[in-house]
Structure 1
Amino acid sequence: MATTTRQPKWQQPDKPADHSLPPIKIFNSLTRTKTSFYPINPEQVTWYACGPTVYDDAHLGHARNYVSTDIIRRILRDYFKFKVRYVQNVTDVDDKIILRGRQKYLIDEFNHGKLGELSQDLTGTRTLALRAYLRKNLPKIPEDTTPSAIIDGLLAKEYEAVLKGQPLVNGTVAGDKEAKIKMHIRTVLAASRVMHDIEVKVEPSLEDLVSLEDVLMPFLDEKLKNTIDASDHSIFTRLTVEYEKRYTEDMRALNVLDPDEITRVTEYGPQIVEFVEKIEQNKFAYTIRDKNSSNQSVYFDIKAFEAANNSYARLEPWNRNDAELLAEGEGALSKDATGKRSAADFALWKASKAGEPSWTSPWGDGRPGWHIECSAMASKKLGKQFDIHSGGIDLAFPHHDNELAQSEAYWNNEHDHQHQWVNYFLHMGHLSIAGSKMSKSLKNFTTIREALDRGTWTPRGLRIVFLLGGWREGIEITDAMVKEGSAWEDRVNNFFIKAKDVSEENQKGRKDDQDLLSSFDKAKSDTFAALCNSFDTPTAMKRISELISDFNIAYNSTEKPPPTPSMTLSIARWATSIVNTFGLNGTATPDDPTIGWSGIDVPEDAKPILTSLSRKRDSLRRKARSKEIAKEDLVPVAYPERSMTESQKTNEAPFKQVLENFNHSLHSLEASQALAKDVLQLTDRLRDTDLWDKDVYLEDRDDGEPALIRPVTKELRAARQEKEKRAHEKERAKQKKEQAKKEEAAKPDKGEQNHMTMFQTEEYSAWDADGIPTKDKDGEELTKSRRKKLVKDWERQKKAHEAFLAKGK
């Protein structure tokens, strides 16, 4: 039954006096509306973000959260010019880490034969582990089912509806529960295949054996967790240190700015204890003695908190009685807590059990609850009130609601019962696959490393998709979404390439296009309005795209001069500042004078050679097309000597080889009437093959201007593939047509058959004087309709035969 809670009025921070602030409104989860953004101190925005729980590699769902957070941080810092103090935590101790750390330790001991009989009887242990996994996760399958039966389709039969995308409960929508079933099916299938291969004497690969671990680890943990010396914290820290390092590498690969400060739970033990003590002193907490030891757990007292005129579950009050979310918030290792005053009360400090790491405290050996860590660390770093708190939307309840409650309880005093700890709560939307959020627990994720290594995504491409989708809305990966992001990137890329070749020296007194000028002014004002409107990046991205489209229309117009160089460069500099603000250009800042982003220029070390080759090619091509080419024009391209490092020489080497090959080909040309044709073929080969294969393209221009030296882009590559495809199809059509002609010519002329004898077959037994049948093979008279048809065929053949005879004459 839903409980109506008292919702205190959110207090709008005071607008700082004597400071001109941009009219920013932020969608604030505390109010579920857009509220004006006034930082406590206009000189510096204070921000605390919930960081990663480091027990596995970060996946694209994490990228969604932290890249979107990074975009907002950059907008505040680089567009609106706020100083931002950004603090992010690393959770390096919680139930998931404890469980995974133990499991990793035990599987390592098992693989090294250190678990006695369990390690010795591999077949028996694996069989017991599979049965335990089925019993817990796939109860429709009898636990004594053999791996062979599982492989033969039993899982698909029993869970057919879920595998087809149907919900477990009729009338509902398939979601995370169904995704978990699919994950368990994949795990059991993989393990069963390996177990079957081992049974039939097929040697499993290392990768195959790893697939067994998801079945073995929970089994070993259940049997042996109480035997682990949990005072050896290295069992857990070796896991977290490794994955924090990998997380940092992943974020830097995605061009996410490092936090200004990082806090780790294991480094804040005394501060967390002090925080819990203060809540207890304020009478918003109570203790429960552990039934197996003298240690105590400390729980937050929601009833006492609300009795003091406070409110619980301010972010998502509709979820406060959701038993599933409450259990998830408390963690898998503390479901057996007894003595709580309310089912919704949550742990501030947990008495450690066997197999769990512990720290000393006034309540005995224990460890922090999941939610208390952020409250204590954020308060210690940023004080009793700060501007922004952020995280993924899945953390809103219970994690962030519990954070708010315990922090308000900590800062509570007789004069400040409803202390506003955070002024603005920002929650990033999910990244989804087939309707389910991407998560480690569902194992439906692609890690950031995999996505970048395979080339599935680039840091820029992924960030563009998040910018197009906005930070609050959920995003589902679809082909349409990927195409939209790719099209936006190509459009901007090509514009920057055009702008890079512009020189303001070519102004020549021309005036700016007023329509384009109006479009530019509108793009700037609309982008400002969009970013003030809760960081509405989809609208800003659309305005950039529309401005470039307007520029291209003016650029390609035949009715008026193209945009002036000064206008082109002004638009390019503004677009560059925005993409730099959005983090689409590495470490470049909005005031970087370089136009465009990385990837629109050819290799720096190759430029001298490329310039020499291109200019020589321009000269040869111009003379050859005008038929003025002569043998004495075939002077080799001079190699541009200069001082270079060994690294620069290495980078230049492939292009130096192209230059040498081109010179050799020039030298081999003979003076003849075909010289112009031979030169054009050579210059085309340089453009279309030799340099193209080195990802460089020479774009010829018909106005006598030098060719543009530009990198080969995705769009150029796609255009060439399409051109080659059309040429191939055209050639195939031509060959097919010629083959049809040959086949037709090889056929005998239809008119060669004499109409008088055309029906002289066994199908008939009597004919009239013209050779038209009167009776069938059995001597029966032909029907009128059949004879009528035969007469028509006879008349057609008569005309054809007569025409054939006429051609013969």
Structure 2
Amino acid sequence: MASTSRQQPRWHQPDGPSDDSSLPPLKIWNSLTRTKSPFLPINKNAKSVTWYACGPTVYDDAHLGHARTYLTSDIIRRIMGDYLNFDVRYVMNITDVDDKVCGVWDALKSWGQKQIIYRARQQHLLLDFKHNNPHQLPTLKEALLAYASKNLRYSSSDLSPAAVHTSISASYADLLERNTKDDAEAKLKMHVKTTLAAARAITALEAQTDAQVSSTQDSKELDDILMSYLDARHGDSVDAKNHAIFTKLTKRHEDRFMEDMRALNVRDPDDVTRVTEYVPRIVDFISRIQGNGFAYQVPSGVYFDVAAFERANNHYARLEPWNRHDEAKQAEGEGAITEKELGKNSDKRSSADFALWKISKPGEPSWPSPWGEGRPGWHIECSAMASDKLGSQFDIHSGGIDLAFPHHDNELAQSEAYWTNKDDQKQHQWVNYFMHMGHLSIAGAKMSKSLKNFTTIREALSQGAWTSRGLRIVLLLGGWREGIEITDDLVKAGSGWEDKVNNFFIRSKDLLGDSTEEKIEQLRIGGKAMHMLPENPQTISTANGVTSQTNRDAPISLDQTLERIKSSSYLSLCDSFNTSAVMASISELITAYNAAEAPPSSQTTFNIARWITSMVNMFGLNGSATPLDATIGWSGLDIPDSARPALTAISNLRDLLRKEARSSSGISRDEIDDAISTSKDLFSVSSTPPQPFTDVLQSFRQRLSDLSSSSSPDISKPVLSLCDTLRDTDLWHKGIYLEDREGDRPALIRLVTKELLATRQEKEEREQAKAKAKAEREADATAKADKGKVSEKDMFRTEEFGAWDDDGVPTKDGKGEDLTKSRIKKLRKEWERQKRLHEAWVKEHGSTS
């Protein structure tokens, strides 16, 4: 094999001048160079970009770790296409039947790599077993012992589930108590929890009847150990030619994966490739590599020859050369299914060589090939599919950081071996830019299906833990290639940014709301901020990132601030997609708007609101809206059209009542009756008002009518109180908030937001704390007062003492022994305090005699 000390090849900058004026000054962090490289697409004249992304392995529902990878890719794709105006073709693969993964979450973990084959086969065996074996207890006990013996330090022959639980709990007590960040330790912890859960479930089953045992066949805790047990004993009996056994599982989860991505507002790929549809072309791909002299056949399959590749003046492990001799990573890259071949009896020529084609064992899916019935190796899949769709060279290849070695390094080597031959003197460059996304972690632990420490996207969205917008905001606040740890502070920062933008949109729409459609169109035409990009992006200085200011002491207008923010945002996104800087700039612009000494003009408000709307649309924070959509704001901001007439009638009635009740003369009963009558006419505008708001208005009018007919001399304060109740209780619990404003301006009808909920909760907590403190003070005062009733001469006359002086201070204890001088001194001080309390009580209440 070639020496590891040989110089690594220079990355070949794509042909074309780096200062091409037709292209934006975009630089991308390139894993091939480990630097920010100027981005020059292969077809720079058409500004077209070819991009291949490693997609999911679909054997289970996607979790938030997946969301990190695909949301991030979607954000970058939108920036390149919608903001920088590249024509992006985005291709993604689906690994549907194979023993490897091609995604960040389980990449390079042997447990995860075999999951499609094993999980599909296991589920097939499990369903068959449950159908034919309703009485499971004996088998479950054997499965528990087998699982514990294989994955944990448990060698006892005692099959008692209780004994297993006791032993494992004691052996791994320290592990269970601490937070684990190391993957190997986290995996061990997962096995411990699985074993304990199964042991508890089986113990519970032992106390049940046969009928009850039969009814618990869908227990997740038991399925985990039972599937592994059945597969180890009967996996090789599954018909390998029956591909439906495997594709049934993957087809269902592929559909669910796409549904999850759409729920997160991730755009569909332009092309989707599936491994099972590419097997014949993969066979041809391998044959050409072998024909070029870079592969060899052995009994276990076909392997890539790293030594031959490097002898032909090529370089292997270009992404992570420091890992090229990491045998653990190499073994993980080959997968648990081939562990035997990687041992002492391996027929590979070198530990660095990797499988292109594997001869299938009994129970594993297989396809015909010149080398025998088998299936593709993990890495060859992406090479064949990407090459078929994008050719001998393309612009961007992306995936999780875990994929860099060995998966992407192996992809590079075998693809370059396919597109060249061993006599070439120059290494073929298959990919120009590699982009690797960082992990998503919670409490320092990376999410992984194989570690069972994840929350699925469906659970997160359905349970309200996250929204599509909220999760995307958190990712925008971080860097795309750095790891992101979900902390309370980060979640709070994301919510704060969302609420700030939300409030700005509400206020700007309110200011522009009186404008006619014709006026809005005039503002749109006359506005200078209709496009997201600055006016002259090519003239922006990349040195300081902002437009220079001649007189720094001169006041800066909001329009100037907008132009500066647009320019700095442009440069930030050209700086390897620095979205966190842009998010901060948007927040800065809103702060400047809110702090303006004079009310901003409609034109300035429109310009700023339109630009921010375009940016949030471009980032994917507003559903299917595009940057060119004319509407101001984002979804969830406006009251539904069906409810607006009813809410407007309610708010108008309340505004009228508050105005009269707060006047110097107050409100009269006749004015209340007239307002009730007027509200009926206003409400009739809505032909089908929503029932909840109908009930609210009817209840409000009834309480007003009762007040009008009452004998109370002053009804202005009660009317204002009813108006407050309508705002703070009746409508609030329907998700509507009426925001009162200064003067006679009508209340602003708003949806209840997370910020409003948090503000109210904080207020309620403060009031509760204040009430508690007051109650404690009153209780202390009461206790103090009650204590003052007792005379100081009587306070010590208890069985604890046997003699007292004339003042009632004890001199002897209950046994008749003299008290020490120090004890008498302490008792005298207590006596003096009580004397003062009693005198104060007597002064307030009179003598007790």
Does TM, normalized by the shorter one, top 0.5? Answer: yes
Find the counterpart in structure 2 of residue 659 from structure 1.
697
Can you give the 5+ residue segments of structure 1 that lack an aligned partner in the other structure?
114-118, 168-173, 291-296, 555-559
Find the counterpart in structure 1 of residue 26 from structure 2.
24
Letter in 2 for 1:631: R
In 2: Cα distance, 1:765 partner to 1:658 partner: 73
Letter in 1 for 2:362: A
In 2: Cα distance, 1:659 partner to 1:108 partner: 57
For residue 374 of structure 2, the aligned residue among 355, 366, 386 is 366
1:610 aligns with 2:647: yes
In 1: Cα distance, 2:767 partner to 2:229 partner: 61
Q: Secondary structure at the match of 1:605?
A: coil
Cα offset for 1:513?
7.6
Contact 2:69 2:437 in 1 (8 A): yes
Contact 2:788 2:838 in 1 (8 A): no
Letter in 1 for 2:88: V
For residue 356 of structure 2, the aligned residue among 345, 348, 354 is 348
In 1: Cα distance, 2:839 partner to 2:162 partner: 76
Find the counterpart in structure 1 of residue 117 from structure 2.
98
Distance 1:762 1:327, change over 3 A: closer
Q: Secondary structure at the match of 1:46?
A: strand
Contact 1:754 1:797 in 2 (8 A): no
Cα offset for 1:271?
1.6
Find the counterpart in structure 2 of residue 184 from structure 1.
191
Q: Secondary structure at the match of 2:89?
A: strand
Letter in 2 for 1:720: R
Letter in 1 for 2:120: G
Find the counterpart in structure 2 of residue 61 from structure 1.
65
Find the counterpart in structure 1 of residue 581 from structure 2.
539
For residue 465 of structure 2, the aligned residue among 443, 449, 456 is 456
Deviations 1:750-807 (A, max 9, x none): 6x5569x989999576969x99888889998887767777887888888889999999
Distance 1:801 1:518, change over 3 A: same
1:52 aligns with 2:56: yes
Find the counterpart in structure 1 of residue 149 from structure 2.
135
For residue 442 of structure 1, the aligned residue among 451, 455, 464 is 451
In 1: Cα distance, 2:584 partner to 2:749 partner: 29
Cα offset for 1:62?
0.6
Contact 1:141 1:155 in 2 (8 A): no
In 1: Cα distance, 2:150 partner to 2:694 partner: 65
1:411 aligns with 2:419: yes
In 2: Cα distance, 1:136 partner to 1:465 partner: 40
1:110 aligns with 2:148: no
1:33 aligns with 2:35: yes
In 1: Cα distance, 2:836 partner to 2:620 partner: 80
In 1: Cα distance, 2:238 partner to 2:819 partner: 100
1:223 aligns with 2:233: yes
Cα offset for 1:140?
4.0
Counterparts of 1:58-97 in structure 2 under 5 Å? 58-95=62-99, 96=114, 97=116
Distance 1:363 1:806, change over 3 A: closer
Contact 2:788 2:841 in 1 (8 A): no
Which segment drifts farther, 659-668 or 298-307?
A: 659-668
Cα offset for 1:732?
3.5
In 1: Cα distance, 2:586 partner to 2:282 partner: 47
Q: Secondary structure at the match of 2:661?
A: helix
1:155 aligns with 2:168: yes
Cα offset for 1:193?
1.4
Cα offset for 1:300?
0.5
Q: Secondary structure at the match of 2:257?
A: helix
Q: Secondary structure at the match of 2:628?
A: coil
Which segment drifts farther, 521-530 or 741-750?
A: 741-750
Contact 1:6 1:310 in 2 (8 A): no
In 1: Cα distance, 2:49 partner to 2:594 partner: 40
Find the counterpart in structure 2 of residue 527 from structure 1.
569
1:591 aligns with 2:628: yes
Distance 1:221 1:773, change over 3 A: closer
| Percent sequence identity over aligned pairs | 57
In 2: Cα distance, 1:523 partner to 1:361 partner: 59
Q: Secondary structure at the match of 2:25?
A: coil
Find the counterpart in structure 1 of residue 739 from structure 2.
699
In 2: Cα distance, 1:385 partner to 1:317 partner: 22
Contact 2:330 2:406 in 1 (8 A): yes
TM-score, normalization: structure 2? 0.85
Q: Secondary structure at the match of 2:643?
A: helix
Deviations 1:417-474 (A, max 9, x none): 3111100000011112343321111111111111111111111111111111211011
Q: CA RMSD in A?
A: 3.2
Letter in 1 for 2:748: L
Q: Secondary structure at the match of 1:251?
A: helix
In 1: Cα distance, 2:573 partner to 2:686 partner: 47
For residue 407 of structure 2, the aligned residue among 399, 406, 421 is 399
Can you give the 5+ residue segments of structure 2 that lack an aligned partner in the other structure?
100-113, 524-553
Distance 1:308 1:685, change over 3 A: same
Distance 1:271 1:781, change over 3 A: closer
In 1: Cα distance, 2:800 partner to 2:139 partner: 80
Letter in 2 for 1:263: T
Letter in 1 for 2:235: K
Contact 1:773 1:787 in 2 (8 A): yes
Q: Secondary structure at the match of 1:194?
A: helix
For residue 146 of structure 1, the aligned residue among 151, 155, 160 is 160
Q: Secondary structure at the match of 1:604?
A: coil
Q: Secondary structure at the match of 1:315?
A: coil
Which segment drifts farther, 463-472 or 435-444?
A: 435-444
Counterparts of 1:262-277 in structure 2 under 5 Å? 262-277=272-287
Contact 2:646 2:694 in 1 (8 A): yes
Distance 1:307 1:678, change over 3 A: same
For residue 381 of structure 1, the aligned residue among 385, 389, 398 is 389
For residue 601 of structure 1, the aligned residue among 638, 644, 649 is 638
Q: Secondary structure at the match of 1:287?
A: strand
Cα offset for 1:356?
1.5
Counterparts of 1:636-715 in structure 2 under 5 Å? 636=677, 637=679, 638-641=681-684, 649=688, 652-670=690-708, 673-715=713-755
Find the counterpart in structure 1 of residue 540 from structure 2.
none
Letter in 2 for 1:721: Q
Cα offset for 1:343?
1.4
Cα offset for 1:259?
0.3
Cα offset for 1:415?
4.9
Distance 1:666 1:375, change over 3 A: same
TM-score, normalization: structure 1? 0.89
In 1: Cα distance, 2:585 partner to 2:620 partner: 17
In 2: Cα distance, 1:180 partner to 1:419 partner: 39
Letter in 2 for 1:63: A
Find the counterpart in structure 2 of residue 630 from structure 1.
668
Contact 1:760 1:771 in 2 (8 A): no
Deviations 1:566-593 (A, max 9, x none): 3233222111111111111111111221
In 2: Cα distance, 1:620 partner to 1:802 partner: 55
Cα offset for 1:310?
0.5
In 1: Cα distance, 2:490 partner to 2:501 partner: 17
In 1: Cα distance, 2:185 partner to 2:219 partner: 26
Q: Secondary structure at the match of 2:453?
A: coil
Q: Secondary structure at the match of 1:371?
A: helix
In 2: Cα distance, 1:640 partner to 1:328 partner: 69
For residue 175 of structure 1, the aligned residue among 182, 185, 188 is 182
Which segment drifts farther, 323-332 or 387-396?
A: 323-332
Deviations 1:249-276 (A, max 9, x none): 0000111000011111111122211111
Counterparts of 1:717-756 in structure 2 under 5 Å? 717-749=757-789, 752-753=791-792
In 2: Cα distance, 1:9 partner to 1:208 partner: 56
Find the counterpart in structure 2 of residue 170 from structure 1.
none
1:568 aligns with 2:600: no
Q: Work out the number of aligned pairs and report it.
A: 775
In 1: Cα distance, 2:812 partner to 2:366 partner: 108
Find the counterpart in structure 2 of residue 357 from structure 1.
365
Q: Secondary structure at the match of 2:382?
A: helix
Contact 1:5 1:317 in 2 (8 A): no
In 2: Cα distance, 1:657 partner to 1:100 partner: 53
